[in-house]
Structure 1
Amino acid sequence: MLSDSATSSVTSLEHLDMKPVIVVHGGAGNISDKRVPGCRAGVKRAALKGYDILKGGGSALDAVEEAVVVMEDDPHFNAGCGSVLNEKGEIEMDAIIMDGKDLGSGAVSAVRCIANPIKLARLVMEKTDHVCLTDRGASLFAKAQGVEEVPEESLVSEMARERWEKNLKPGSDPVASQIQDRGTVGAVAIDNSGNVACATSTGGMTNKMVGRVGDTPCIGSGGYADNFVGACSTTGHGEKIMTVTLARIILYHMEQGMSPEEASDTALTYMKTRVRGLGGVIVVNNSGEWTATFSTNQMSWAAVKDDVLEFGVFRGENETVNIDHPLASQ
């Protein structure tokens, strides 16, 4: 629990002219060599989109939403139009968004025929008295809000179809395949007013049971944002992330004085040793410090602060370029 002095100090951040920061991830796992360029380019585009909003005085909430939309619209990622298929060959998607200013939260699970589930999650936050809507209820709400439905086939990528067919074969291991090649997308940000936000979106687990809900739409697992501490978005073994409430435990460690990197390393190590789960996280604290950390082989990520873009995919990779440099948009 924060002391009165700590609470006062954090609250005062809203009155400071903070330097905006955004960090995004495109999923933790084993990313094949042929997909690395597309994943790297995708997270860079998403981070730059979000940072452009922040530089223009926009909110952290708007920045993370639009950054995630960029990745939902990119078939390189397991969200939106790149979502994996369930056991019936259908797409069911989950998403969450959270505002650190008042802990406002919105989530959807098992939604179908929606191009951008993250936008629907925000509508749940802003237009209902609930936190999460699922399946048919989410669909009815989307229609009531004028959200356009799209044909399911428009969301199915060739790679998702191939992976689904492969996992139908005897002896295949869909659980192991969850960490292969594709992953959840997410974003965290802090804006000029010191407000933080997070957003996470996913197609879930390849060949999952119909109706399966993973960590992404669960507050404290798929993401968490609190101005008193910071914001986090997670990716990886969904069921394992849920059992340790990975996002919230990271913020807890930060409350105890750890840096974002220390808190992330500690929580990921705990998840690996306690429940044999692998994953990755992106975190920003309320001072603008950030990290992108993962226990898998790779995780595509990008971050922008002080007009400098940093990005990577492989462990130890951290490329840096000014946002005005031509390489920033490639």
Structure 2
Amino acid sequence: MASAAEGAGAPLVLLVHGGAGDVADEGVPRKLEGVRRAAQAGYEVLRGGGAALDAAVAAVHVMEDDDAFNAGYGSVLNVDGEVEMDALVMDGKTLNAGAVGVIPDVRHPIDAARLVMECAPHVLLVGEAAKRFAVARGVEAAPPGALVTPRAQAALRQAVERGDYTMHDTGGSTVGAVAIDSRGHLASATSTGGTSGKMVGRVGDTPLVGCGGYADDTVGTVSTTGHGESIIKTNLAHSIIVLMRQGLSAQDATQRALDELGRRLNNTAGAITLSNKGDVGVAFISKRMSWAYRKGNEMHYGIDPDQHCVEIVQEKEN
């Protein structure tokens, strides 16, 4: 049975990504399962009449708790073997945004970012100060080392052995979600552990408005993933919004902005986009990017180029 929100005819959509990068074959099943679970969790919030921001954050929670992804538990490590995370939320109705950078030892950095948006006079807080601010307001802390996984430790060893700290993927990169709710409002939420072997204190693209994400009810909403420094240089999320404002579809704007990044900087990235009409854009110029979205009774998902699977979701009767 349709919820009240669906019955109103609003184009409810919850779209997620689980990171662009060189995902190994053995990691594909967990990636696809994870993004489908995240999309479903966020969509349930929308079906219940919830706000786009609540739905996007709920979807990101699922991936922050899943060590198949590089966010929260499972985050990659800096050169000293520590977890330092970045996150961003943005509300398309108000253009309010909140972000944290290089935040250590919290279970859900996306919650810390939201608290900055709602409780601070600033957009971005970083480091231990960001953690203190968030934990004092109820964000769950994690004991030192609790977010470190064997996979992340192995990735750091490989980076040290290679002498190459530019890789942004260990089977999963930045995670993100975008949503449109029953009132037509948009939101974006993005979370990451960054790049394996990064310098201590490195802030990537994710917490920077217009780079890691953007949301504007008059146009659309975006979450990005990939080589962070290249995303910063091209202001990727906002570049997609600008192209949509010029009349391109969500899909065409996303692909064109990514192609330009690849052409100018010879690096890889991906992005997910929703227009304010609920049109979907999914594109990446990396080897793979896991993604999924729920729209109506359909779950769409993929990870390889040109892969687009569709499942009909059978809702349980109350």
TM-score normalised to structure 1 length: 0.91
Cα distance in 1 between the residues matched to 2:85 and 2:102: 5
Aligned residue for 2:70?
78
Are 2:111 and 2:139, in contact at CA under 8 Å, matched by a contact in 1?
Answer: no
The CA deviation at 1:181 is 2.4
> What is the aligned counterpart of 1:173 among 153, 164, 171?
164
Aligned to 1:265: 255
Contact kept? 2:23, 2:169, Cα under 8 Å: no
* Displacement of 1:66: 0.5
Q: Which residue is 1:118 aligned to? A: 110
Could you tell me how far apart the structure 2 residues matched to 1:136 and 1:262 are? 40
Alignment of 1:87-102 (within 5 A): 87-102=79-94
Partner of 2:39: 47
Which residue matches 1:210?
200
Matches within 5 A, 1:1-330: 17-169=9-161, 171-175=162-166, 177-324=167-314
Q: C-alpha deviations, 1:304-328, integer Å up to 9, x for none?
A: 11120000111111110112189xx
Sequence identity of aligned pairs in percent? 46
Number of residue equivalences: 309
In 1, the alpha carbon distance for the partners of 2:216 and 2:135 equals 31
Change (3 A) 1:193 1:145: same
Residues 262-318 of structure 1: CA deviation (Å, up to 9, x unaligned): 101110011011112211000000000012110011000000111200001111111
Which structure dedicates a bigger proportion of its chain to helix? 1
**What is the SS of the residue equivalent to 1:82?**
coil
CA distance in 1, matches of 2:112, 2:170: 27
Deviations 1:85-131 (A, max 9, x none): 00000000000000000001000000011010001100110011111
Residue in 1 that maps onto 2:3: none
Runs of 5+ consecutive residues of structure 1 not aligned to the other structure: 1-15
Q: Report the 3-state secondary structure (helix = DSSP H, G, I; strand = E; otherwise coil) of the residue aligned with 1:71.
A: helix
Separation (CA, whole Å) in 1 of partners of 2:144 and 2:34: 22
TM-aligned CA deviation for residue 153 of structure 1 = 2.2
Match of 1:118, SS state, is helix
Aligned residues: CA RMSD:
1.3
Secondary structure in structure 2 of the residue aligned to 1:219: coil
What's the counterpart of residue 10 of structure 1?
none
Q: TM-score, normalised by structure 2?
A: 0.95
Q: Deviations over 1:34-77 (max 9, x none)?
A: 11000000000000001111011001000000000000000000
User: What letter corresponds to residue 214 of structure 1 in structure 2?
Assistant: G
Deviation at 1:166, TM superposition (A): 1.7
Residue type at the aligned position of 1:174: Y
In the TM superposition, residue 17 of structure 1 has moved relative to its aligned partner by: 4.5
